[in-house]
Chain A
């Protein structure tokens, strides 16, 4: 409790501010590698928000899959495809304006939605502490019963395998072209 505000709220505001700054840097940075790095920062901040929302399992998954997997993969792709710092993609100002206007219009619509729902500010969590533990998540994910998610989990693993094979097939060098 600091200044009558709960500690978790202070953490949330700080993390949220950091996340927004990191996201802005991610999209405006001229250096694509820099934006990938800031994307990791955004993801880690998101993981903290998950912890605040009592979804520790999600936070761990976020850090492992996103920050640790996807973005690293992305950085590899960047390093494979571009000469660092050499390529500068200049964006015209009108395009930025149009993009900003579209984003602002989106925000405006969402804001209108939020204003129309005053009970959002007073909603309180009814989740029990036991339900959000690590073990509870794992049990739900791996139990085959009516409340379990075993079959979607297996399907997702199959999908990942397929994506893996597919990306290897796509990205492997065309042997016919090599010979020419």
Chain B
């Protein structure tokens, strides 16, 4: 297990997230893909902190904040999704075309 392995893992996860973000039609599905991408970034943080940083604790704690902020983001995003669902009766992005008004 080297830093290289961790980074490859993180990048692959991130690419999968990108792919999911672009192919998903369900809004929750897109959010899940974003979660994947954030997770990949977190792995990066922790791996670099472990292998490179002089102060490993500080580096890892940074991802704690990332997790916390992600939680906030998810809460608000899901609330928005529920209101959107109430209005459009669907979460299909193909049908959410009033964004361009």
Contact = CB atoms under 8 A, between A and B. Distances in A.
Interface size class of A (residues with CB under 8 A): 35 or more
A81 B91 contact: yes
A131 B56 contact: yes
Interface residues of B, number: 72
A27 interface: yes
Q: Classify the interface of chain B: helix, strand, loop or mixed.
A: helix
B57 A74 contact: no
A166 B72 CA distance: 10
A66 B67 contact: yes
A50 B20 CA distance: 24
B75 A53 contact: no
Contacts, number: 238
Given A20-B16, A57-B60, A156 B68 contact: yes
Given A81-B91, A132-B56, A159-B72, A23 B13 contact: yes
A32 B26 contact: yes
Interface of A: 6, 8-9, 12-13, 16, 19-20, 23-24, 26-28, 32, 35-36, 39, 42-43, 46, 49-50, 52-55, 57-58, 61-62, 65-66, 69-71, 73-74, 77-78, 80-82, 87, 89-91, 95-96, 98-100, 102-104, 106-107, 110-111, 114, 120-127, 131-132, 136-137, 140-141, 147, 149, 152, 156, 159-160, 162-164, 166-171, 173
29 contacts: A12-B1, A12-B5, A13-B5, A26-B32, A27-B16, A27-B17, A36-B28, A36-B32, A42-B36, A49-B43, A49-B46, A55-B46, A73-B74, A74-B32, A80-B82, A87-B90, A89-B26, A96-B23, A99-B19, A102-B18, A114-B8, A122-B2, A123-B2, A131-B55, A149-B58, A159-B68, A169-B79, A170-B80, A173-B86
